Amino acid sequence: MLKLKGSIKISGDKSISHRALIFASLSTGKVKISNLLESDDVMRTLNILKELGIKIVKKKTQWTVYGNGTGGYLQPSQVLDCGNSGTTSRLMMGAVSSNPINCTFIGDNSLSKRSMSRLSIFLEKMGAEIKLTKKDFLPLHINGDINLIPMEHVMQKASAQVKSAIILAALNLRGKTRIIEKRNTRDHTERLMRYLKINFKKKILSKNSTSIELNGPYEIKPRDIIVASDPSSAAFFIVGALIIPKSMITLKNIALNKSRIAFIDVLKKMGGKIKVKKTKTISGEDVGNIQVSYSLLNAIEVKASSSPYLIDEYPILSIAASQAKGVTIMKGLSELRHKESDRIKSITTNLSKIGFKVISKKDDIFIKGSNELQVIDQKKIKTYGDHRIAMSFTILSLLYKNKLIIDDDSCISISYPDFKKHLKKLSSKK
């Protein structure tokens, strides 16, 4: 059996990388971006910005974006291909909507099955003309308009992507835009705006509700951006070190945004030995080192109120649950059905195939785990083309001495192209 030992620097954060590129494109000059994640998803955003007239060049490991200012996108000569990236499609829909251009967005088969109406209804209320396939899916055509109406938006469903898209549209509008979140979401966009000195007001309305007010149009002055390392990517190795005997690892320069590391609190409650130490702040994000060592885990209940802060980590948390003593309950996972795969199905199907007792009831998952390793014959894991399912079960396969075969792990490049390289670096023989 392998164990995980040593230290690595995780690749740049995917969510921040998308936003860094887009905000740089809206600035009034040259922006250098360091530690950009060069995954398939992020490159989709980068290439679409190029199609919109933004000059972007790479020198060694650094990317330089020559911004055209808010409202500076040019008419593209071809369709804008988002590939598998929901973040690309939604953020760029918002960004182009307040420009006087016409765009058609397309995606791969998986993305074309994911809802776009949750965003389009807000943009249409502002005055954008949007045509969706079968009222909900890509391909999508949008007629942008610099004269969109600034207004108040009440978001009943938690979505950082939708919130960010509305913000991006509002940056080029004359007047006040107000966004009310009934359930708080990840705040990378707001942190980056503060770093870029974009004036806005954020108010706490209640324990779980906030409002954001913007008064545009804005002139965004160029400022270089360093992308912090991705905590969602770090989560795979954190769980790996917790469940694989004799493991001990250190992960460096990880973004410690509270809205992104809720999974660490969950793992600590399960008995995980995890130490987090802040070291500095870069481009508006706190970063630090995370030390993890092998632990005997116990089952817990994860409440539905936590789901907006754990949405990307549920696949790997389900792996931790499979190795925890007792029945772990994860509630309020409806959003998992609208990711790269139906992740409730992907998780339950694969764990059941291995032999774990797993039940899904509506939007809840119940996993009966064990600290003792199951005896299994060789099993094939179906990833459903979902990068987080592929990486999660790759980590679990380390416990089973190659008895778990991943059917197709090419999808990992969507979010973490260096995953296998980093896993190899941390792996050593017993």
Three-state secondary structure readout of the chain: CEEEEEEEECCECHHHHHHHHHHHHCECCEEEEECCCCCHHHHHHHHHHHHCCCEEEEECCEEEEECCCCCCCCCCCCCEECCCCHHHHHHHHHHHHCCCCEEEEECCCCHHHCCCHHHHHHHHHHCCEEEEECCCEEEEEEECCCCCCCCEEEECCCCHHHHHHHHHHHCCCCEEEEEEECCCCCCHHHHHHHHCCCCCEEEECCCCCEEEEEEECCCECCCCEECCECHHHHHHHHHHHHHCCCCEEEEEEEECCCCCCHHHHHHHHCCCEEEEEEEEEECCEEEEEEEEECCCEECCEECHHHHHHCCCCHHHHHHHHHCEEEEEEECCCHHHHHCCCCHHHHHHHHHHHHCCEEEEECCEEEEEECCCCCCCCCEEECCCCCHHHHHHHHHHHHHHCCCEEECCCHHHHHCCCCHHHHHHHHEEEC
Cβ burial of 174 (10 Å; 0-12, 13-18, 19+) is: exposed
> In 3D, which of 40, 34, 1, 4 has the Cα closest to residue 16?
34
What value does the mean pLDDT take over residues 248-277? 96
Q: What are the residue numbers of the active site?
A: 312
| Reported confidence tier of residue 308, pLDDT bands at 50, 70, 90 | confident
Q: What is the mean pLDDT of the chain?
A: 95
Under 8 Å between Cβ of 415 and 15: no
pTM: 0.92
| CA separation for the pair 82, 280 (Å, rounded) | 34
Q: State residue 430's pLDDT score.
A: 47
What value does the mean pLDDT take over residues 319-325? 98
Under 8 Å between Cβ of 51 and 78: yes
| Reported confidence tier of residue 243, pLDDT bands at 50, 70, 90 | very high
β-strands 273-282, 152-155: how paired?
unpaired
Q: How many CB atoms lie within 10 A of CB 404?
A: 20
Under 8 Å between Cβ of 321 and 369: yes
Residue 342 scores a pLDDT above 90: yes
Q: Which domains does the chain have, with CATH numbers?
A: 2-11+227-429 (3.65.10.10), 70-219 (3.65.10.10)
Cα Dmax for the chain: 64
> What distance, in Å, lies between the first and last C-alpha atoms of the chain?
6
| CA separation for the pair 159, 185 (Å, rounded) | 6
Contacts of 242 (CB under 8 A, 6+ apart): 267, 272, 273, 274, 292, 293, 294, 295, 297, 320, 323
| CA separation for the pair 323, 367 (Å, rounded) | 10
Q: How do residues 344-400 score in pLDDT, each as one tens digit?
A: 999 999 999 999 999 999 899 999 999 888 778 889 999 999 999 999 999 999 998
Q: State residue 135's pLDDT score.
A: 75
| Reported confidence tier of residue 1, pLDDT bands at 50, 70, 90 | low
Q: State residue 209's pLDDT score.
A: 93
What is the percent of the chain with per-residue pLDDT over 90, rounded to a whole number?
89
Rg, the chain, Cα only: 21
Q: How do residues 214-236 score in pLDDT, each as one tens digit?
A: 999 999 999 999 999 999 999 99
Q: State residue 362's pLDDT score.
A: 87
Here the tokens at position 184 are 């708080």
